[in-house]
Structures are given as structure tokens and as C-alpha cells.
Structure 1
Amino acid sequence: MTRVCLIGEDETTLQYELLSRETAREALATYDLERPFENSLSLRTVSVGAAVSLLNDLNWYLTRFVDEALVQEPSVSDEEWLSRPLARQLRNGDVEPEETAQFCKIYGLERIGAAPQSPDDSDAGAASGGGGSSDPDASPKAHNDRAPENGGPSSPPADDAGEDDADRSGAAGPTYRLVEPLYVRRTDGDLPDYDLRDVEDTLVVRLTEAEYSP
């Protein structure tokens, strides 16, 4: 199974932003959602093609609320992740699995304590603004119910997402945050050690050459 992991922007509450909007909620409805890191959602799909298609379906939300969209394909690696552009190249046949390993960034994983409560208990009340009039889930009632902030409407009210939908994104166990990516290049099959700060673990994301050298 191919995994997808979405990491929210710092100023957003990702679980709320996705599960409170009907279009995104329906796109995610058939998946079992997990929360492996702070402000994240992850799920499993049947293939890298299905993962890329799902990310395309969610693109409106990804551009507004998501900092990183990652894909983990077992035929490539059981431990390392692919960036969305690299996963797209792999799906399209523009790159072979063995050609994906050269350019990477390594995130530090910092423990921040026990897993938070489900989004309807802890995240909804803290959801940030940022929706615009082009919101695909917007309706006159939804806009009337939103309080303006920084010149624009805030997120939809919490009751737009049912408790069952919000609860699906809970996850047991410790919670980690991704910190300070280190951009590296693999040499002779090895990656340099992460040395930006002391962390408990690391997460490797494989990149396209363009992402490595913007």
C-alpha cells in the first residue's frame, strides 16, 4: 500500500481545514486517517497513481493549507518518502525507482508529547482564517456564518464537520513535529547525518533535482 502524508502550514489547523469542508471531506471519506506528526494527516492508497490522483483532487486545499504533501511507495522504499513532484514523475514513468534516491532533504523529528485530542475537541476552536471567495465548498450560508479576519472570511464553522469525520483523524501514541530540513545529496549510497539540532529521529524525503536546486 502506498502512503500519503499531508503536513499542515504552521498557521493552519490541517485536520479542521480539511474535514470541515465538504469536498475535501468526501475525497477523504473512504480512507482511514491517521495523525503521525503534529498538524498532519496520513492515509494509505492502493498505488502511487491513486496517491497522485488523490493529491490532485485535493489541490485547492493543498495550495492553501498544506506545507508538504508526501508519498511513500514500497516499491521505492519502505522508509523514505517522495515529494509530490517526484511521485508524479514516478507515476508518469519519467523516472525509475532506482533513480529517485540522489536528491533528498532530511527533517528532524522532535517529540512534543502525547497525541492531541481529536480535531473536533481541540483543533476546531483554534482553526485559522485564509479561505477565499473561490472556496469550492463555499455557500451563502457558510459565508454569512464566518467571521472576517485580516480582510477575509475565516474557516467554516466547526459543525460543518461531523464528529465521526473529525474523530477519524485521531492517532494513539507519541506525537512528533518535523523541524528544520537539511538538503543533502546521496553519495555512494549514503546520506550525511542530520546535524542541525539534536533530535530523536529523522525523516528522509526524496526530491526532484529542481526541488533540490531551485
Structure 2
Amino acid sequence: MAQVCLLGEPESDLRYELLSRETAREALSTYELWEPYANSLALDTVSIGAAVSLLNDLNWYLVRFVRAALVQSDSVSETEWLSRELATAIRDGEVDPAETGELLQVYGVEDGRPENPVFVEREGDWTPEREGYDEVLVVRVTESEFDG
């Protein structure tokens, strides 16, 4: 099982933008959708591969209305998300899931809204501090995303 979470751009209403367009609505029609964060959309898929395929199908909309497309799979981590780029690399066999988790993008979540992320390099058993946030959203990223 894998989850997809789309974080909408602040100036867009993500649910409206996706569900008001026929192609996106059809691609999402077989999934149960929920909103874990303000202006977000989440759903369950059967695998990382299915999650990446769905993101590829929705790419036109993602470029315009989504600031981050995330994938979570218990086979990689039960609590941390993967960037779309990292999920794709894992699906394609380019990256071993066990070798991820050092390079992170961390969002503080306040009032249900993920704030601007910071990039962090994890050493050892480091876990992010909430530092005044309601919760923390941790995303594993590729080296190119981290350095970019």
C-alpha cells in the first residue's frame, strides 16, 4: 500500500482545480480522497509504482496547482514521505529504499497548513523537533533536490 499527498499552491484551491477538470477528475474517480492538511488532497494506492503512475497522469495539473507531490509507503517508512522524484527512483530500481532517509525536506505544520520547508541532513537517529509547530511533515528527497 502507498499513499499520495498533494500539497496545493497557496494561491489555488487544489480540490476545486483537480475535480473541476474532466481528465483529473476521471483519474481520481476510483480513489477515496481526503484532506490531511489545508489545501491538500490524499489517497491510497496499491504500490509506489501505482502512486508514481497516477502522479505522471496528473502531471499537467501538478505543475500548475501543486507545490509538492508526496508518496508514503510502509515498505520504506511508516512515518516519512518520499518526494515524487525519490519515489520514481525507487520504483525504477535506481535507489535502494534502505539507503534513503539522510536527506530530508521538513515542513512545520501550523493550523493544518504545512509551512515553507527546510532541508536537513539527518545524522544517526535524529528526529525533527516540532519547535512550536502542531506537527512536522518529513519528506525524504534525492540528492539533486537537496542540493537544488
Q: Which TM bucket (shorter chain)?
A: over 0.9
Q: Distance in 2 between matches of 1:188 and 1:66?
A: 32
CA positional deviation for 1:100: 1.2
- Is the radius of gyration larger for structure 1 or structure 2? 1
Q: Which residue does 1:25 correspond to in 2?
A: 25
- Report the number of matched residues: 148
1:132-151 equivalences in 2 (<5 Å): none
Long gaps (5+) in structure 2: none
The normalised TM-score by structure 2 is 0.96
Higher relative contact order (CA 8 A, sep 6+): 1
CA contact (8 A) 1:107 1:204 kept: yes
Alignment RMSD (CA, Å): 1.0
CA positional deviation for 1:32: 0.1
Identity among equivalent pairs (%):
57
Q: Which residue does 2:11 correspond to in 1?
A: 11
Q: Distance in 1 between matches of 2:130 and 2:122?
A: 13
Q: Which residue does 2:82 correspond to in 1?
A: 82
Runs of 4+ residues over 4 Å off in structure 1: none
Counterpart amino acid of residue 64 in structure 2: R
1:14-163 equivalences in 2 (<5 Å): 14-111=14-111
Long gaps (5+) in structure 1: 112-175
The normalised TM-score by structure 1 is 0.67
Counterpart amino acid of residue 206 in structure 1: R
Residue 180 of structure 1 aligns to a residue in which SS? coil
Residue 116 of structure 2 aligns to a residue in which SS? strand
* Alignment of 1:185 onto 2:121: yes
Q: Deviations over 1:28-48 (max 9, x none)?
A: 000000000010100000000
Q: Distance in 2 between matches of 1:18 and 1:193?
A: 33
